[in-house]
Structure 1
Amino acid sequence: MTDTPETKYTQQAAPSDLDECVGTRVQEERVRLQLTQAQLAERLGISRTSANLYEGGKHLPRAEVLIRLDGLGADVLYILTGRKPGTDVVDLDVMAFAMEEVRRQTSQSAEEMSYRDCLSRAWPIYMALMNYKRLSSELKSTVP
């Protein structure tokens, strides 16, 4: 379904498995941080309704909310992927660059897209950049 300017940020879609998994993990992190839903909403600067929608898997948290969750000590990698931190962590600078590239490309075509569509288009760019970064590093280490 294509977003129109009127529905760009208000479109109500049925929750997906991803939404529900992310919601469950937001709730797990809130409990781990020993916060009530009201306290979490207050510290994130969102309404209690929004916090409830996130935890209920009805909406995915926006990037700004995820950044604030990280600032509270929540494990955002776990919230988004279900993986606990290890050697695979998202390079936020590279992801921000990938998101900006998607925005640049779509602004040239006057195409409207949802945040979720932007993120799903940015992910392959992110992965390509990370592979390039890894290969460049490996090449540098093998050159005498």
Structure 2
Amino acid sequence: MSQQALAEQCGVTARSQRNYESGERLPDAGYLAALPAAGVDVLYVLTGERSGAHPAHDAAEQVLLDSYRRCNAQARQHLIQTAALLAAGMPPASARGAGSSGGQSVVGDDAIQIGSVTGKARIKNR
């Protein structure tokens, strides 16, 4: 799409469009709101990160995310460990019985390491 065509679609002058693209001026919210209709990924324009990199959450994912955010630090660690075990095809600690590590170990840098037949999956805490 030409600068002129994008400018017209977003309600600005061609000169404003050139100024936005050259970094001489910053666009206003109205211009940014009009960009998606022109097929522009606004998140990419603002941050350099594609919108598709983070697909929308379905309802179940949102419940998990909300639950994680309500947890204290220790509960978050347990939630991460349980999710890592389930993702690796292993039952959570509560289903394995008390005192059984099931191949899981916490390493010195607070990473979770899970043993498996093909190797070890390592999930690093942030």
Rg larger for: 2
> Do the two structures share a fold, i.e. TM-score over 0.5?
no
- The higher relative CO (CA closer than 8 Å, separation ≥ 6) is in 1
Name the TM-score class by shorter chain: 0.3 to 0.5
Which structure dedicates a bigger proportion of its chain to helix?
A: 1
